[in-house]
Chain A
Amino acid sequence: EAGVTQSPTHLIKTRGQQATLRCSPISGHTSVYWYQQALGLGLQFLLWYDEGEERNRGNFPPRFSGRQFPNYSSELNVNALELEDSALYLCASSLLVGRGSETQYFGPGTRLLVL
């Protein structure tokens, strides 16, 4: 069974541009989570999608947005990129709605570098 996949693996952008990151969950998983891991900082929760709806978002500005498609894959968009957006962006999926008792399976991440 294929794991969570993310694309691209690396992305280089300049300040002010937009970045689009993609995630495909494990087959059958309906919940997709996005996390940011900036250099030297811990993981931070960004967004949670389930059944096509945004269920929760972390403490990030509105220029971080996304969506979940009918096939449960997801896209994270970051508009008006700033230097501090440079980070590893991780996507995770789980089988059921995030009640805390389900394991989250992580993708390999997308490394975004903003110049």
Chain B
Amino acid sequence: KNEVEQSPQNLTAQEGEFITINCSYSVGISALHWLQQHPGGGIVSLFMLSSGKKKHGRLIATINIQEKHSSLHITASHPRDSAVYICAGFVASGSRLTFGEGTQLTVNP
């Protein structure tokens, strides 16, 4: 079983829709990172959270430590949000990131 499981693998939405991407993680992960990867390969770090909720513009990330679950929400989605979103867990014992498989998001105009 992977240390980080992400769903869905693919997501297609219409512009303006509310989007949710989910991430479940295993014991031993002390922090959760959400990353965005554009077609050229460049990766941008969106959020890092170990508790609660963070918001940046139209993006919201939440984490439930008891359930070992995190979600990334995009409100009022836009075609420019189309990218791969990756959930990554920080494994404290090894000081390394372990990655989910990614969610390919396509937002159609």
Contacts and interface: CB of A to CB of B under 8 A. Distances in A.
Interface size class of B (residues with CB under 8 A): 20 to 34
Contact of A106 (B43, B50, B90, B94): B43
A53 interface: no
Nearest to A46: B96
Interface of A: 33, 35, 37, 42-45, 48, 55-56, 58, 88, 90, 92, 97-106, 108-109, 111
Contacts of B40: 108
Contacts, number: 65
A43 B41 CA distance: 11
Summarize B's interface: helix, strand, loop or mixed.
strand
A37 B41 CA distance: 9
Interface in B57-103: 86, 88, 90, 92, 94-102
A61 B33 CA distance: 27
Contacts of B108: none
